[in-house]
Amino acid sequence: MNILRAVLDPNDPERTDLREPSADDGTPTKERSGTSLSLLARLKGDKGSGPGWDEFVQRYQPRILSWCRRWGLQESDALDVSQNVMLQLAKQMHTFEYKPGGRFRAWLKTIARRAWYDYTLRRKKAEFQAPESDMWRKLDNADAEQDLLTALEEECNRELLQVAMGVVQTRVKDKTWQAFKMTELDGQSADEVAQQLEIARAHVYVAKGRIQKMIVSEVQRLDQME
């Protein structure tokens, strides 16, 4: 259950809120659960453009910005670096060979590493003609690179989990899902949930364990390239 613990950690300041949205438009929640394909699976046909890419930018660029700030960059430099890294990611997605049978998370890590390598290569060529900037000294090290790759991988895990949860929710009874949601996402005790849902305390644990296993299985399916 490592992926569940990592993504559902309530102490993570950059944690995506995975609780179901309020149905303020009148649409039943189960009809709002979204696609059964991951964003990266949809991106393989976008090649750096289209709605899938727009969603990718909205999801991943803030993580790159946070990474820049974490490594001490000024806001203008952080924006510049994040935009350039995203451009390099688009380039890598256009040229990187897609191999069925692989894993999307491994694919993202590979293209992110290549994108960062290409960006640093361009920067080094530019710095050869001008004095090295303070910004570049902060980022030009293995720890910064690994921190960037980790940030992107964590966001990929979050996205896979969100999609998996939407899929699983449509496959179980509402009370079973609520038992999982109220304990795992809302942090309520099994006793509180059992009382509110009018079910046995043991059933709460059974429902939670069942949903967790289904979500992990669905994440693995979503991560598999076909």
Same domain, 161 and 175: no
Window from 30-34, 35-39, 86-90, 150-154 with minimum mean pLDDT? 30-34
Same domain, 44 and 81: yes
Do 8 and 185 meet the contact criterion of CB atoms below 8 Å apart?
A: yes
Same domain, 182 and 149: no
Domain limit, last residue, from 165, 186, 216: 165
Same domain, 156 and 217: no
**CA distance linking residue 214 with residue 167, whole number of Å:** 10
pLDDT tens sequence across 134-173: 666 778 788 988 999 999 999 999 989 999 999 999 999 9
Same domain, 193 and 110: no
pLDDT tens sequence across 168-223: 999 999 999 999 999 999 999 999 999 999 999 999 999 999 999 999 999 988 88
* Residue 51 one-letter amino acid: P
Domain limit, last residue, from 148, 165, 182: 165
Domain limit, last residue, from 165, 187, 210: 165
Interhelix angle 75-95/51-70, rounded to 10 degrees, is: 140
Give the domain range for residue 151: 32-165
Same domain, 116 and 130: yes
**For the chain, what is the domain count?**
2
The residue among 125, 171, 115 whose CA lies nearest residue 145 is: 115
pTM for the whole thing? 0.75
Residue 19 lies in a domain: no
Residue 29 — pLDDT band, cuts 50, 70, 90? very low
Residue 36 — pLDDT band, cuts 50, 70, 90? low
CA atoms within 13 A on the CB side of 80: 8
